């Protein structure tokens, strides 16, 4: 039985927002005694019925440990789990051996830092990042750089949030050992020109990692065509469960890497004299995995495929334009991140109050946004602000959410003025 079948949703004929929204039970949850406008999607997305059903179905009818047992439930669990890997690989246009299951984008990046880069890193080497990276795409590189006597270098961001490509190229030097950058900035919404950047890095014979945490739910993506060596993302930002994610890695990269974590499943044989390793990707999946996480992600991919990522992208783009115009109507509000072609993330500050207070006032009016540094402290420094308010869009948002945000912002302004 195909593990992903129970969760498949029929494709809507066009973008039917009311129907899509009805798939997400939590969106009908009253908050602060009123309607919820959920605009914190860059932090995590809500889950559709089909994902909730897939998780429930797994625990009710298939729960068992995978790979090693012969009994019926274990076989069902293994079929569902490995079926999910097939589904995920097919969705992104790559081979199943190239899909390493992780706890999320953060773990995927750490895996590459420790298992791939660290053994190849020498004193004086450089790892090229950009100023817009999430801490998860900065700190793992700093940790391995410190061990090897190497260093992290970051390319500049322009005032509108675009990557300064001239600066990035200038910092791509003979000392560079690996290049890593976000596909989409979680704070600015900037979409980096990843195809061209991958080509430039690989033309210099260097490996490239893309942090896709903010891209996978919003843009069509063919990982084979993109050609990056590594691409990491989390299921929970893609309508799937928390605590699960994927590291895509080219097979030859995985084959050339030593394991990172040791334990069950990642071995072929173990003795006190020494151990040998399982084939890829299992060599990098030590211990009992998050079985339901894989099944939940496959269900989430079925869900977004049913709507179509092109349709989702177009819907969110239209919403972003509307949201930008609505925010412009609020006196004293300054948007941070206005790069052309950006994704549905709106970071802003207001002259009347600290972002934290604005977030709290919005919450009282049923608007869920994020405030703070968004795990991008260097970017906050770059823009000279301690924090921002961030509204981020998803496939189930509509004009009503934006109207609620706009109304709440005007009221908040009157409150603090
Ligand atoms: N990278 C980016 C751009 C993110 O936005 C996030 C999460 O906000 C991460 C990495 C880390 O994702 P996770 O915490 O799911 O590992």
pLDDT bin (cut points 50, 70, 90) of residue 69 is confident
Q: Is residue 2 part of a domain?
A: no
Q: What is the pLDDT of residues 256-307, one digit of tens each?
A: 999 999 999 999 999 999 999 999 999 999 999 999 999 999 999 999 999 9
Cα 127 to Cα 43, 130, 157, 185, 288, distances in angstroms: 26, 10, 17, 19, 32
Query: Cα–Cα distance between 257 and 106 in angstroms, integer?
Result: 19
Q: Is residue 12 part of a domain?
A: no
Pocket test for ligand 1, best of 103, 108, 186, 242 (most atoms within 8 A of CB): 186
pTM: 0.96
Do residue 38 and residue 111 come from a single domain?
A: no
Q: What is the pLDDT of residues 311-334, one digit of tens each?
A: 999 999 999 999 999 999 999 999
Cα 9 to Cα 306, 307, 310, 368, distances in angstroms: 6, 9, 17, 27
Q: Which residues are part of the catalytic machinery?
A: 375
Q: In ligand 1, which atom is closest to the CA atom of 236? A: 15
Which of helix, strand or coil describes residue 340? coil
Q: Is residue 376 part of a domain?
A: yes
Q: Is residue 109 part of a domain?
A: yes
Do residue 249 and residue 167 come from a single domain?
A: yes
Where a domain ends, among 305, 337, 370? 305
Ligand 1 centroid from CA 134, angstroms: 7
Q: Report pLDDT for 315.
A: 98
Query: Cα–Cα distance between 244 and 254 in angstroms, integer?
Result: 19
Least confident of 3-12, 237-246, 354-363: 3-12
- What is the span of the domain harbouring residue 141? 52-305
Q: Is residue 7 part of a domain?
A: no
Do residue 31 and residue 163 come from a single domain?
A: no
Do residue 210 and residue 355 come from a single domain?
A: no
Do residue 71 and residue 201 come from a single domain?
A: yes
Q: Is residue 1 part of a domain?
A: no
Do residue 174 and residue 235 come from a single domain?
A: yes
Do residue 115 and residue 134 come from a single domain?
A: yes
Tokens for 8? 């498949």
CATH label of the domain that carries residue 330 = 3.90.1150.10
Where a domain ends, among 305, 332, 355? 305
Beta bridge partners of 37: 367
Per-residue buried b or exposed e for 353-380, using 16+ beta carbons within 10 Å of the residue's own CB: bebebbbebbeebbbbbbbbbbbbebbb
Q: Report pLDDT for 68.
A: 81
In terms of DSSP H, where are the helices of 308-351? 309-328
Query: For ligand 1, is residue 106 a contact (CB within 6 Å)?
Result: yes
Pocket test for ligand 1, best of 106, 216, 390 (most atoms within 8 A of CB): 106
Query: Cα–Cα distance between 69 and 74 in angstroms, integer?
Result: 6
Q: Report pLDDT for 309.
A: 97
Query: Cα–Cα distance between 79 and 60 in angstroms, integer?
Result: 15
Where a domain ends, among 243, 274, 305? 305
Q: What is the pLDDT of residues 19-39, one digit of tens each?
A: 999 999 999 999 999 999 999
Tokens for 380? 């906050």
Do residue 176 and residue 81 come from a single domain?
A: yes
Do residue 318 and residue 334 come from a single domain?
A: yes
């Amino acid at each position: 039985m195909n593990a992903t079948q129970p969760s498949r949703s029929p494709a809507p004929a066009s973008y039917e927002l009311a129907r899509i929204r009805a798939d997400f039970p939590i969106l009908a949850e009253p908050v602060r005694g009123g309607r919820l406008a959920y605009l914190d999607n860059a932090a995590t997305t809500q889950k559709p019925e089909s994902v909730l059903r897939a998780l429930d179905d797994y625990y009710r009818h298939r729960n068992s440990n995978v790979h090693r047992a012969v009994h019926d439930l274990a076989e069902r669990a293994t079929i569902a789990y490995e079926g999910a890997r097939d589904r995920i690989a097919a969705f992104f246009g790559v081979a199943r051996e190239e899909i390493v299951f992780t706890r999320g984008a953060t773990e995927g990046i750490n895996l590459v830092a420790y298992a791939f880069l660290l053994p190849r890193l020498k004193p004086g080497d450089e790892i090229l990042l950009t100023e817009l990276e999430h801490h998860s795409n900065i700190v793992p590189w700093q940790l391995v750089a410190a061990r090897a006597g190497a260093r992290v270098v970051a390319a500049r961001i322009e005032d509108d949030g675009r990557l300064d490509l001239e600066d990035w190229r200038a910092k791509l030097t003979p000392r560079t050992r690996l290049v890593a950058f976000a596909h989409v900035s979680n704070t600015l919404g900037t979409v980096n020109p990843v195809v061209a950047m991958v080509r430039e890095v690989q033309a210099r014979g260097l490996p490239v990692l893309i942090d896709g945490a903010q891209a996978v739910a919003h843009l069509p993506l063919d990982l084979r065509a993109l050609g990056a060596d590594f691409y990491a993302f989390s299921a929970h930002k893609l309508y799937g469960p928390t605590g699960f994610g994927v590291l895509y890695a080219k097979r030859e990269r995985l084959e050339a890497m030593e394991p990172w974590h040791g334990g069950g499943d990642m071995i072929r044989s173990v003795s006190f004299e020494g151990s040998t390793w399982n084939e890829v990707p299992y060599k990098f999946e030590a211990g009992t995995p998050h079985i339901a996480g894989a099944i939940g992600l496959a269900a989430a991919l079925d869900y977004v495929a049913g709507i179509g990522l092109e349709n989702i992208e177009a819907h969110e783009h239209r919403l972003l334009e509307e949201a930008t115009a609505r925010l412009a109507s609020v006196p004293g509000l300054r948007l941070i991140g206005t790069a052309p072609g950006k994704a549905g993330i709106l970071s802003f500050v207001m002259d009347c109050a600290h972002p934290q207070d604005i977030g709290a006032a919005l919450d009282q009016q049923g608007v869920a946004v994020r405030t703070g540094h968004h795990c991008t402290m260097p970017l906050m420094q770059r823009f000279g602000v301690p924090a921002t308010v961030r509204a981020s869009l998803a496939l189930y948002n509509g004009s009503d959410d934006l109207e609620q945000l706009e109304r709440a912002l005007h009221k908040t302004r009157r409150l603090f003025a």
